Each structure stands twice: as structure tokens, then as C-alpha cells.
A and B are shown apart, each in its own frame.
Chain A
């Protein structure tokens, strides 16, 4: 065989391979008109097993640049909810597709909203979600104490699909409390670690019909769920990582006055350090925070003594919050703060439940920026928190 023939043969083989590959790609053709773009998925427990509610974009709805606010034959809503039931997740999905006259397009699904009931049977649902190749691993997993379908259906007045509203709501909250960023990848990763508990954002329908952050939900691998309400969110968020730009009211008493001091935490971080020097593991929680005194309603400048007292009050308050959160997770038997994970990283394998008995000590340092940013108003004396140095 001459060189020319060999090159020709090789060229023909490459051309044939490329042609085959090219023809195969053509099978994926799916014009945008023939898609139902799902932006959110609600998972509830139904009579038959799993009830799925899909939040589908209505391209002709409100809030899009082509039609503006004008209504059309499909109504003025930016999305519509379609629900279906099945014995399994896959069956529910098939039933749902059967109701739609275009292909269900899941690659832009941004949210999976679980109802509290649905996660009791969490493993098969999680398995189905993990297996589905269309779903992105960056989609948010969020929990609601009520029905996911009702959260989708009863929220009104939105200019964009409700699931995108919830996603944006959680995204914005997670900018402050990082633990609320409960995307699928992080949740699954947390569930597979020794502690087996993942934090998820919890949303609920507010009094005005709009979804709002209800707090934080702890989901255990076996489907046990515990929702911490918003009042304790900061306590838990400090355990679970960094926070940015959060505000706190610190109880404060000085010179016979009692009140609260507003502290704006610019950033805080928490580390868990396992100390094995004493034989049995001990956990040291290292908390660091930089904040500014936002509400110093005193008529005089802050003295050094007052500042020291304030630092001490803040330290006590942070420790109190951390201890309260730890007591709670111990009480519900969920290693939400990853104590077993921390021990495991040190090579210590704990017996089930042993994490609850690990001694914990707190190392708290608050760096306060005060002076320029502390402000008083003429109304300081009349307000509840009007305490300060005297």
C-alpha cells in the first residue's frame, strides 16, 4: 500500500467517523417552542405514593420582554403548575409528562421543594433525583412544613415563576447565612459524611401569600427532619460556617440601665477543632467575628470600661447562642454541626450517638469597630434599647 493510499484510507475513516457523529447529534434537535421549561419541582406525599408538582414557564405570561404586562389566552401568570401522582418518583414523572403536549425540559430546574411529609420517604426520592441526568446538581433543595404544591399554587402576584422567586429568596438569604445555600451537591455530600445530616433552607408561605424563609431544616439520611425557626437561625448559622452582614441585638446592662445594643456583624467565621491530646476527643469551637456597633444610644462617648463590658457581653451572648443551638441538636439527636465529621477527619471513629457527649469549649473573639459608625439620634432616650455608658 502506497503512502497516498494509506492517507486516503485514513482520511475516509476519519470522515466517516465525523459524519456518523454529526448525524447522531442531529437527534437532539428540539426547538425552544417545543419545550416545557421546568423551573421548579415540588415533591409531596400523595395517596398513591409521590406527588410531583412542576412549575412550568409560560412564555406568553407576564414579565417577559416580548409581551410586557398584557394578558393572553393562557392567562397573565408567568408560570403554571402541573401535578401528577405515582407510586414512585419515576411513575409520577411519566404521568406528568403524559399531561403535557411538549417535552418536559428539566435542565433549567432550579429548585426542588420537599414537603415535610415527603422527606420521610427520602431515600428513593433522592435516588431518583440523583439518577436523573437532565437535572442539574446545582438545583436548590428546599423544605417546607406545608405542602409543596400549595406553596407553588397559592403564591400569587409574581412577575416570574414562583420557583425562581423562592430560589432568589434563598440565594439572597444564603449571602448572609452561608448554611442556607442548600444545593443538591452540597446536601448529598453532607448526607454521605459520618454525621449524615444536611442543613436545608426552609420556606413557608407568608401571611401576604408570598414565600418567605422560615428557618433552617436539618435533614438526616434516614429522612428525619427538624426545622429550626427563624429566631434561632443565627445561632445555628454560626455553627455551620461563615455569616456576612448579619445583625444581632445583644442584651446589655450598665449603670443600672438595661437594654440591647445593636451589633452589625460584618463577617463571622466558625471552626471546629478536635483536640485529642487528653485521650478522649474534645471539641474547641473557634468563633471569630468583626462587627460594628450600629445602635449605641448613649448621650456620651463610649468609655474604655464601657467598651470592655460590651465586648464581654457580646462574648457571653455568642457563647450562649452557640450552646443553645448545640443543646437543641443534641435533643433532637441530629449531628447537624458535624461533630462526628470533625472527629472522623482526625481519624477518630465515634460510636453512633457518641458525638453528643464530646466536651465542647468555646473560643470566642469579637473584633469591634466602633466610634465613627456608632450613631445616636435625638430619640435614643425614648427607645427600648436606650442604654449606654453614663
Chain B
């Protein structure tokens, strides 16, 4: 068996084969160096040698193991970080789970940072990620199903849901879509997302992507389904709505009165990120009558001497801003921050002084960038970044009319999107009045006893009616000296 495994994997300098003998049997252990914990393997082999004839030779009570019956399964086990223990004369072998694959430790979330609440984030190990979810959700109803995807390099994909909460049809649909994925290997959960998305072409994220276990647990408790791919530090949650992309975990970790203005601000900022440059271009090139006179005079003064039409100026600045943002992302962090600051301050200032762009345009493009930074969902940020370009083109070619027409088309498209059957604009369109408590505003927890109606969870109430807290009543406290 060892020879056959080596034959399949060669050339493979990190493959290790070690013979072992006991009182009755002898055989070989095969594993890949670096994927197996050498100390535990040594202990297990010593234990195997000493136990001798007790039980099946390759079984070790101290080590979890699986039986492998074919060479293909044995190779897969070796690649998965198992140590395959083969006995001479036996038709099968045991795969000992002694994995010690290199993985980073659990760290703070970098893409979804919050000031309050839990801070830990997923890593690239599926086992660790599942453990992090289990640690937070100690529920016997939490179900985890594993699928293997990838023809050349199989990858484990875990589907998590809370039995009795998630709609069975939803779970079935997730299973169906994942089982239909045909890909040679899975590099990241994004591949899974693109395969299981409802719309084939859409800039809007119809699956929620998160690296925070607390967010996953919150989603599971709403009757949604989580999908985690091995090797990916992010988890996908389905279904998702547009409004959910504008809510941050922090909204639930701070007082609801503070969450209200922040939610409103994010809604405003999303549309600002999409429309602000387009509105500026439309107002400056077509609809100057809508500007107050002092502002128009100021804009005209700023624009005097600029050699480009406003639309070219806007597209140029937006492209430059995107290039700077991309450079800041790709470069090492320390250098990237410097590039962003230098780009924004020095290049912007130099461009204004050189008379290439107007100060107003710099302000507009910068404000658009800042607006996009306020959005908690990375997918929505990217959508806003993409959408601002066609809107600017429409504004430059057709004025406010073009912006209006494109805006209506965009709203129509958004309203037609579905995420695993759930309308993307729910609970706004279609309207679920009860679920409005957690859309633009975030109601106090004691008012949100029901689960979101649009997900059609089996149990609609978070706690049984008889165990629900009594409605808040004003208690008259009288001071008695």
C-alpha cells in the first residue's frame, strides 16, 4: 500500500513511510510531513507496538480513526493530513486523525471591526471555524452537514443550520445547489458563492459574507443557513436582503438609540456613494438652475480654467481614486496607508494647483469614497464603487433625466433580485411591517421577539409566547424619605 500511495503522489519529498512491528503484526505508517503532529504519531506508534495482539493491530484507542478500503481513499486521507496505518496482509487500512496542518491562530476581525462585542474572526481551518460556531451556539439543534466539492482537489464544505428554525425547503435548496457545483478545486468561499447565487449576473451581494462567528450565530438563530468552506476565513449566509447588508454587528452591541442614526447614516451613505458624483456632474453640466446662486458662483469659480469637461474630470478623478484605493489594498499595510494618504493629500492638492481638477470635484470624489467606507458589507461597497461609473456617464450624457432613468432601472433590478427565493428588498418590498423594526431603525431587543418574517423560519417567535417577557410598563417609583 505504501508503495502504491507513493506511486500516486510521486515526486513527493514530504511523504514519510515508517515500518512498524508489534507482537503479532507488522506494517507501515504513511503520512505527509507537516500535516501530521509528529509527537502524537510517535506516541501512537509506540502504543501500537506495545499493545501487541489486543484488538485489531492498527486500531489505537487513543486516536480517532477511520477505515480506508481503497488506495484512492488512502491517498485522500494522507492528503487530508491523516496518518494511514496499513497492516501486512490486510485488505484495508486505518487512517489516524493526527492532523496538525499549519494554521494561524484566531485573531481579531479585520474586515468587520467593531468597538463593542466579540472580536474574534474565522481562520482558514474548517474544524476551528466550526468549533467557534459551536462554542457560541450550544444548541443540540445545530446541524452541520459536510459536502465535498472539487474534482481535482476535494474541499470540504460545511452547511450549518438550526433544525426546527430554518425552513426545510431552504436547507434542501442549499444542499441541491452545493451538490451541483462542478469545479476542479475550491480556493475560497467566493467560488461557492458564485455557483450558488440566484442571479447569474448582479453586482449586488445576494449572499452575506462574514468572518465573524457571532454574526453567523445570529443568522442561524434567524432561520438562515451558513456555508463554510475549508481553507476560507469567511462564511456565507443565505438568504440575505439589501437592508441586512447595511446593518453592522455593532448595531446590536450598542444601545438602540445610538444604532438608529448610524443605520440611517449608512442608508444615506450608500446612495451617496452611488449618486453623489453623478448628481454633481448633472448639476454642473445640465441643471445649473437647481443650484443656489452662491453655490453656482463658487462652483463656476472653481471650474474656471479646468481644461476638461466636467464628465471627463469626474471619470478621471474617480479612476484615480479607485487606483489609489487599490494600491493601498495591495501594498503592505504600512506602505499602503502611506500611499493612500499621499495620494489623497499630495496628488489631489497638486492636481488642483496644476489646474487639472477643481477643488469641488476632489471634495465630491473624496466624499464618495468616505461614504463607501461607512458600509459594513464589502460586497455592497464594491457594488457602489462599480455603479457610480454608469451613473456618472448617464449624468454626463443626459443630465438628471439620465440619472433618474438609470436609478429607476436600478431600483427595478434590485426589486427583482432574489436570494434563495427571498426578495432582495424585503421587508420593504414586499412589505413586512413587523420586520421594519430592524431595517432602517433598530428597535430595542425586547420589542424584537419575532424572527424576520421574510425568511419564513419554522418557529416565528424567538421564545415561546408563554415564556416571553412581559411588555414594558412604567413602574412608578415613589421616593419615601
Contact = CB atoms under 8 A, between A and B. Distances in A.
A39 B304 contact: no
B309 A67 contact: no
22 contacts: A22-B397, A22-B401, A25-B286, A25-B401, A26-B398, A28-B399, A32-B284, A32-B285, A32-B288, A32-B299, A32-B310, A35-B288, A37-B300, A39-B293, A57-B297, A66-B301, A66-B358, A66-B359, A108-B289, A108-B296, A164-B293, A164-B294
A32 B300 contact: yes
Contacts of A110: 293
Interface string B302-331: 111110011000000000000000000000
Contacts of B153: none
A37 B294 CA distance: 11
Given A25-B401, A60-B301, A66-B359, 7 more contacts: A22-B402, A31-B309, A32-B285, A59-B304, A65-B302, A66-B304, A67-B301
Contacts, number: 87
Nearest to A72: B304
B159 to A, nearest CB: 38
B293 A32 contact: no
Among A18, A25, A60, A61, find the residue whose CB has the most chain B CB atoms closer than 10 A: A25
Interface in A82-135: 105, 107-108, 110
A105 B288 contact: yes
Contacts of B254: none
B298 interface: yes
Q: Which 4 A-B pairs have the closest CB atoms?
A: A64-B301, A107-B289, A59-B301, A59-B300
Contact of A35 (B294, B300, B405): B300
A21 interface: yes
Interface of B: 284-286, 288-289, 293-294, 296-306, 309-310, 358-359, 397-399, 401-402, 405
Nearest to B311: A31
A108 B287 CA distance: 11
A28 B286 CA distance: 6
Interface string A19-43: 0011001101111110101010000
Interface in A45-83: 57, 59-61, 64-67
A28 to B, nearest CB: 5
A303 B399 CA distance: 70
B285 A59 contact: no
A65 B301 contact: yes
A33 B286 contact: no
Nearest to A163: B293
A308 B35 CA distance: 104
B303 A32 contact: yes
Contacts of B294: 160, 164
Grouping DSSP codes into helix (H, G, I), strand (E, B) and loop, the B interface class, with mixed when no group exceeds half, is helix
Given A22-B398, A26-B398, A39-B293, A108 B288 contact: yes
Contacts of B398: 22, 25-26
Contacts of B288: 30, 32, 35, 37, 105, 107-108
Nearest to A110: B293
A357 to B, nearest CB: 46
A67 B309 CA distance: 20
A64 B305 CA distance: 14
A65 B359 contact: yes
Contact of B303 (A22, A59, A160): A59
A30 B399 CA distance: 10
Contacts of B401: 21-22, 25
Contacts of B399: 25-26, 28-29
A140 to B, nearest CB: 12
A366 B443 CA distance: 53
B286 A29 contact: yes
Contacts of A164: 293-294
A133 B430 CA distance: 43
A37 B359 contact: no
A28 B302 CA distance: 22
A26 B293 contact: no
B405 to A, nearest CB: 7
B293 A108 contact: yes
A336 B301 CA distance: 43
Interface string A306-347: 000000000000000000000000000000000000000000
A59 B301 CA distance: 4
Contacts of A61: 301
A33 B304 contact: yes
B429 to A, nearest CB: 21
A140 B272 CA distance: 35
Interface string A220-234: 000000000000000
B306 A26 contact: no
